[in-house]
Structure 1
């Protein structure tokens, strides 16, 4: 019934030419663009905190959370990797605590399984010491294990030393998004699926902003007036959405990461991460477990031009490079048991070789667009940070 209601919303209005001088087809107080985990968290917060206002979430795909939110490691991060004063750090730490508080009250599957960040040399151990000191200063729990103890606990592991992050966990991200969807609907919000935003203009008597949308099946067009606010949580396409109003202001890069399943028994019971890559382009090709205990490896980082290209390399050279990365901490890995599983694409503000870029979360007042909120470059740790991002925006309203 929920899906039926969602689909009906985007198909039940007749087409009108898009013009700020003509009445809109739909008028609401708030529009959230993007039905990934961040857009869902935002819409849930708005419908809960502002029940007197009408809220519409618009998603271009036929189902919610089909892109970055559904194609990741499903890890609840602790927030220790990124620069101390960055939004990524602050919102990840806050989001970790908010998410666990929610999970303890619901039936969403999760496991506070813990993460081991593995050093293979004294030089890498020095990096882990710096990481631990930063974690302590941020109020995030970590502790060290020497290599001998770590390898006694995880016999397949190769390690000089290990930094343990006990507040890192895993979550069923699909169940989490289902929960947020249910809350939005029960709190009076609406969801328009299969509905793509193709233009936005400031309103002229018909709402603060007018959004032109196209139904993905019928190609029917309609105009939505957002009389209070627009929240652009468009993920891989968020730059294009904000650029309707501010051409050229934002540019996202697409970083595809590949995941491999491991079709062999393993005794590993923790998340295993190598030391992260330079400029934090990624956190290294790590080992994660899903809620069923199945092992997967990934992601690597490959910059691409097409945000819809989820293809998996099917060549021995890529598989060999992937295996060598894993063998740095799991030397017994059998290349013949690794099978390509899926790929995910991250919306990155930093291009190849460029330095760290933080989340952009801001109301575009400086450009004259009050009430229009841009959320750009929301990649990892976006899943962990989702509730904190919504809370951060709540505090600005």
Structure 2
């Protein structure tokens, strides 16, 4: 990783593919396009790859069971899950299929589990329903009258995944430039090239031009702003700030062998609830919760204490051993959502802007969960749009 090399005397750089955003999706897209043989440049405004949504998430390989049947999220999650497991196996990226339980308490929640099981069958994802006796036998700390078992859910080292994608990108001749923020875009010129104005941090040449016939906007939390440089008003992102909680030093050691999720509040809810995840070392983490915000870059804990008591109540519904004094604040992440607060479900936007008169400009907007799982499938879809 290096800053974009600049010189006041050097003309605009010209590449075949410009990818804006160095998170997991941008790296997956850049890798795919570089392996086609064309010159590829991935630019990232931060000092290294994946410093925003891609590294501030649950690191879960999702099965694809929580999204509408015909949605891009479902299709790309299911396809991406299989691509990702195969890629991790080939590249030695640390991961594990630990499985997931979605747990229910009471008749109303069990009925929602029945509906979720039927949905799994409709989309072709393996799942089964188990009763409370088996829950207590296999996970004594978990309280549930029933659980939906998702055996294809897993966990992954997201940093190792991005490092492998970056290695593939550069091995294929592609370039990655950090500290390179796109501040403006110009439409295609007579030669069919878009021009991106890239802030470099270099006093001698603070803005460098990069020209390309293909531009892929994978800017994550900033994707609506990048899109607006060429297609004003096309998208508006909403930002869901989410806190994660970990066990405090001295808290009782909890032994849970799989991921545990509460039943979502409703079909296609804006959150999957404050769930229990594991890292590859077996450490437990809870979250994220949801706090809507206008800021897409505020990771500070804030002056007020975090709502640990509220989180503990949500967790205790399925893990009664947890008390507020057992939890401390961990990471904070922000999800870029096209879905507005309390609004209807919004799908991933993977949009070719050719109908708007901009062929070769691809917008990837609202790529929140399960974007990490879907990343390789999203890259394949972009390739298909561009090359058929």
User: Is TM (by shorter chain) over 0.5?
Assistant: yes
Aligned residues: 381
Correspondence for 1:333 among 282, 303, 322: 322
Correspondence for 1:13 among 7, 10, 23: 7
Correspondence for 1:176 among 156, 161, 166: 161
Counterpart residue number, 1:19? none
TM-score normalised to the size of structure 1?
0.93
Native 8 Å contact 1:203 1:225 kept in 2? no
Unaligned runs of 5+ in 2: none
Unaligned runs of 5+ in 1: 17-23
Deviation per CA, 1:156-195, whole angstroms, max 9, x where unpaired? Answer: 1110100000000000000000000000000000111100
Native 8 Å contact 1:13 1:25 kept in 2? no
1:381 partnered with 2:370: yes
Correspondence for 2:22 among 9, 12, 35: 35
Structure 2 vs 1, CA of residues 217 and 343 (structure 1 numbering), >3 Å: closer, same or farther? farther
1:270 partnered with 2:258: yes
Counterpart residue number, 1:111? 96
Query: After the TM superposition, which segments of 4 or more aligned residues of structure 1 sit over 3 Å from their partners?
Result: 216-219, 313-317
Q: What's the CA shift for 1:130?
A: 1.2
TM-score normalised to the size of structure 2?
0.95
Q: Tell me how far apart the structure 1 counterparts of residues 145 and 201 of structure 2 sit (CA, whole Å).
A: 53
Deviation per CA, 1:23-56, whole angstroms, max 9, x where unpaired? Answer: x5200111000000000000011111x11x1110
Q: Tell me how far apart the structure 2 counterparts of residues 14 and 86 of structure 1 sit (CA, whole Å).
A: 47
1:60 partnered with 2:41: no
Q: What's the CA shift for 1:246?
A: 1.2
Counterpart residue number, 2:336? 347
Aligned to 1:104, the other structure's residue is in SS state: helix
Native 8 Å contact 2:15 2:39 kept in 1? yes
Deviation per CA, 1:245-300, whole angstroms, max 9, x where unpaired? Answer: 11111110111110011133111111000011344211100000001111000001
Structure 2 vs 1, CA of residues 134 and 15 (structure 1 numbering), >3 Å: closer, same or farther? farther
Aligned to 2:307, the other structure's residue is in SS state: helix
Counterpart residue number, 1:223? 209
Q: Tell me how far apart the structure 2 counterparts of residues 163 and 141 of structure 1 sit (CA, whole Å).
A: 10
Pairwise CA RMSD: 1.5
Native 8 Å contact 1:207 1:225 kept in 2? no
1:289 partnered with 2:289: no
Aligned to 1:321, the other structure's residue is in SS state: helix
Deviation per CA, 1:45-90, whole angstroms, max 9, x where unpaired? Answer: 1111x11x11100100010000000000000000011000000000
Counterpart residue number, 1:25? 12
Q: What's the CA shift for 1:316?
A: 5.6
How is 1:1-397 mapped onto 2 (pairs within 5 angstroms)?
Answer: 3=1, 6-7=2-3, 10-14=4-8, 24-48=11-35, 50-51=36-37, 53-205=38-190, 207-216=192-201, 218=203, 220-226=206-212, 228-263=213-248, 264=251, 265-278=253-266, 279-312=268-301, 315=304, 318-397=307-386
Aligned to 1:369, the other structure's residue is in SS state: coil
Structure 2 vs 1, CA of residues 313 and 149 (structure 1 numbering), >3 Å: closer, same or farther? farther
Q: Tell me how far apart the structure 2 counterparts of residues 236 and 98 of structure 1 sit (CA, whole Å).
A: 25
Q: Tell me how far apart the structure 2 counterparts of residues 312 and 354 of structure 1 sit (CA, whole Å).
A: 26
Q: Tell me how far apart the structure 2 counterparts of residues 155 and 101 of structure 1 sit (CA, whole Å).
A: 33
Native 8 Å contact 1:196 1:216 kept in 2? no
Native 8 Å contact 2:348 2:364 kept in 1? yes
Native 8 Å contact 1:206 1:225 kept in 2? no
Q: Tell me how far apart the structure 2 counterparts of residues 329 and 317 of structure 1 sit (CA, whole Å).
A: 21
Stretch of structure 1 that moved more, 316-325 or 281-290: 316-325
Deviation per CA, 1:359-385, whole angstroms, max 9, x where unpaired? Answer: 000110121111100001000000000
Native 8 Å contact 2:6 2:202 kept in 1? no
